[in-house]
Structure 1
Amino acid sequence: MRTVGVEEELLLVDPETGEPRAMSAAVLARAERDGAEPDVFEKELHEQMLEFATHPQSSMESLHAEIVRCRKEAAGHAEEIGCTVAALATSPLPVSPAIGMNRRYRWMEEQYGIATREQLVLGCHVHVSVESDEEGVGVVDRLRPWLPVLAALSANSPYWQGKDSGYSSYRSRVWQRWPSAGPTEIFGSAECYHRRVADMVATGTILDEGMIYFDARLSQRYPTVEIRVSDVCLHAETAALIATFARALVDTAAGEWRDGREPLDPGVSLLRLAAWQAARSGLTGELLDPRTMRRMPAEAVVRTLLEHAAGALEANGDLERAREGCARLLRDGNGAQVQRALMDRSGSLRDVVTECVRHTQA
């Protein structure tokens, strides 16, 4: 059974006002003094962000438990110095992002200007183990049409600089400002994949392979495919659901690759439209069906995802978990829907943030 690990980026906020706080360095120092396990918590581009990484897990129940534990630990370290964490993919309240004092981050600011200064967006990255680069590229080639559905399930960023963006996942639209971000063409082989990455780095437009921001890529650090389309999810159980589907999609794609089945190839232009539609409507309207690239109700597209991955989900013992998770999201709403419902009730984005702090650790 493939192992799965999750990286989540959390927003550091004032527990009373909900305003973002540029305190990641202080939180990390506190975590080290508190004896936190090495390499679990890390800095990110902006000082208002804190990242954690789980261990690889075979059991989705164990992965969910570790996400919950890491969120609580992050909150504990933050609260000791006067802030807390919120699993929000953008800040609902206005913010002036503070870029970390790091040579890499300063290079990015000089190279990309305002796109770097405005990149206070928080995602959830899922690593799924693969046996080789060849299998990994076979998987990457076959995941492409299904990734917008994961983005729709995870959507958790409706607000931007104090206003409703009109999107369910505005984070994904901001993320697309990076020159290497988004869907990719079919590579066909590991050799072609690595050659394309080398050619991109050789342009000087990006600093190194770490700035290959494909929607799904081969990890530099681990023998995994890394899926990077999801917002950080408001609830830990939604993050676990995204990871559950990620593993099942990798299993399904790897089986198709081994059987010599050609990947669906709607083309990058249509994949971009599918990603835009997922960001715009989340689970509240229509999505593009991965098989036909035509609009269908979000609920029907989620059912299509379940059907596509059902064999792998069942083999992994995850089918009932996936069905229940999808039913819950379609009934209760994803993070974007919860945020908007909170705003409708309170009329205050400050209240939205402070209530989402509670959801983060639930």
Structure 2
Amino acid sequence: MRSFGVEEEMLLVDPDTGAAVALAEAVTDGGEDAPQSELQSQQVETDTVPCTSLDELAGLLRAERRAAADAAARKNCQVVALATSPLAVSPSTTPKDRYLRMAEEYALTAQEQLTCGCHVHVRIESEEEGVAVLDRIRPWLPALLAMTANSPFWQGGDSGYASYRHQVWGRWPSAGPTDLFGTPEVYHDTIDAMIKSGGLLDEGMVYFDARLARHYPTVEIRVADVCMPVDDALLLAALVRGLVETAAREWDKGEPPSPVRTELLRLASWRASRSGLEGELVHPVTARPASAETVVRALLDHVTPALADIGDLDAATEMTGRLLSRGNGAVLQRRTYERTGDLAEVVRSAVTRTLDG
């Protein structure tokens, strides 16, 4: 069974006002169990160790969120799994050399980049298998974005998008979907050419929606918003592992990847970012408009044989039903705002859901 793990970026907020606060240096200075710093001083990152079962991952995710919350509480703030700050914020760059270089080189793109994603790592047997997986999961990644969309508010107002994080993240020069690579050599040659062009500081700035991890034998799927309820992060991880296993089996049987063009993938991602689960998406197979539920269930059907073999099918099916019934993070945030008219209450409600589900 393929091992998998999850990285979650989260905001630090004031318990009273809900505003993002620049306390990452203090919160991350708490020893081995403390969360890690990120680009901006208003956010932190947690990550799990590799595991093999959803139950194990669930325990790890809850423990990591709780440890981050405890570390934040010691510095009089809270962690919240929101992909953007609902309230207006002026981000401040974490004072580390690499981040300061990024802020200088990429100017407003870096300075405004207070966004939080969820990254899923899944083990691969070789780079050949990893590139084959990257080539075959491309059409399905926008569906994952729609399911996890959790950033409707930006600088104190409704952006009109379910995932405005995706729009902001897309400003980086290397962000988004990729063409087919075919071989590890083409993959590495592409990255090497991107770095040599001068447009990227280093390989860490390869912000593809999915990539080979630099330091681990995994593929890393990076398209998703951070998820407010833990269950949504678990569902994301289960579906990603199912996608990787399904793609690896297709490659092993000699089935070619879909030749869908990158331009169409960008459009599908935009639509997922705009609509989330409340409207039509671009169907990954037909490339025609279809309801969000149709697309989500098509994804589940696509990975059903792999999920069944892994033992995750019942759990993934149940969590998918719950997600479609209650809505993603964007729906939950807007529902709270419609009820209260208070963005601070949106944040407070999300803090509770971050820890309690």
Instruction: Give, in angstroms, the shift of residue 16 of structure 1.
Output: 1.0
What residue number does 1:229 align with? 223
- Mapped to 2, the partners of 1:183 and 1:222 lie a distance apart of 21
Listed as ranges, the matches of 1:304-315 within 5 Å are: 304-315=298-309
Would you say 1:274 and 2:268 are equivalent positions?
Answer: yes
Structure 1 residue aligned with 2:318: 324
Give unpaired runs (5+ residues) of structure 2: none
Counterpart residue number, 2:16: 16
Write the distance in 2 (CA, Å) between the matches of 1:326 and 1:185. Answer: 29
Q: What letter is aligned with 2:165?
A: R
* 1:360 match: 354
Q: Counterpart in 2 of 1:151?
A: 145
Paired amino acid for 1:199: A
Q: Where does 1:247-266 land on structure 2 (aligned, <5 Å)?
A: 247-266=241-260
In structure 2, the residue matched to 1:218 is 212
1:86 alignment partner in structure 2: 80
Offset, 1:322: 0.9
> What CA distance in whole angstroms lies between the structure 2 residues aligned with 1:285 and 1:324?
22
Residue 178 of structure 2 corresponds to residue 178 of structure 1: no
Between the aligned partners of 1:157 and 1:118, the Cα distance in structure 2 is: 14
Letter in structure 1 aligned against 2:23: M
Q: Deviations over 1:195-217 (max 9, x none)?
A: 11111111111011111111100
1:28 and 2:28 correspond: yes
Percent sequence identity is 52
Q: Which region of structure 1 is more displaced relative to structure 2, 259-268 or 88-97?
A: 259-268
Q: Which amino acid aligns with 1:8?
A: E
TM superposition shift of 1:50: 0.5
Q: C-alpha displacement at 1:219, in angstroms?
A: 0.2
Is the CA contact (8 Å cut-off) linking 2:10 and 2:82 kept in structure 1?
yes
Aligned to 1:97: 91
Amino acid at match of 2:199: T
Letter in 2 for 1:74: A
Aligned to 2:4: 4
Q: Shift in Å at residue 292 of structure 1?
A: 1.2
Shift in Å, 1:164:
0.2
Q: Which runs of 5+ in 1 are unaligned?
A: none
Q: What is the SS of the residue equivalent to 1:138?
A: helix
Q: CA deviation at 1:258?
A: 1.1
Counterpart secondary structure, 2:219? strand
Q: 2:334 & 2:269 partners in 1: Cα distance?
A: 21
In the alignment, the residues of structure 2 paired with residue 63 and residue 45 of structure 1 have an alpha-carbon distance, to the nearest angstrom, of: 26
- Residues of 1 paired with 2:97 and 2:24: CA distance? 17
Contact 2:162 2:273 in 1 (8 A): yes
Distance 1:3 1:286 in 2: 33
Shift of 1:41: 2.1
Q: Counterparts of 2:123 and 2:10 in 1: how far apart (Å)?
A: 24
Alignment map for 1:49-60 (pairs within 5 Å): 49-60=43-54
Distance 1:78 1:112 in 2: 29
Aligned residues of 2:27 and 2:35 also touching (Cα < 8 A): no
Q: Secondary structure at the match of 1:182?
A: coil
1:71 to 65, 76, 87: 65
Q: Return the offset for 1:110.
A: 1.5
Taking the aligned partners of 1:65 and 1:273, their CA distance within structure 2 comes to 36
Q: CA deviation at 1:64?
A: 1.2
Q: Distance in 2 between matches of 1:61 and 1:241?
A: 12
Q: What letter is aligned with 1:161?
A: Q
In structure 2, what is the Cα distance between the partners aligned to 1:266 and 1:273? 12
TM-score by length of 2: 0.99
**Residues 117-137 of structure 1 deviation map (CA, whole Å, 9 limit, x = unaligned):** 000000000000000100000
Partners of 2:200 and 2:278 lie apart in 1 by 36
Is 1:197 aligned to residue 213 of structure 2? Answer: no
**Residue identity in the other structure for 2:277:** L
Aligned length: 356
Give the root-mean-square deviation of aligned CA atoms.
Answer: 0.7
Structure 2: how far apart are the matches of 1:121 and 1:340?
A: 18
Show CA shifts across 1:13-72 (max 9, x none): 00111010100010011x21xxx43xx621100000000110101001110111111111
Segments of 4+ moved more than 6 angstroms: none
TM-score (normalised: structure 1): 0.97
CA contact (8 A) 2:131 2:183 kept: yes
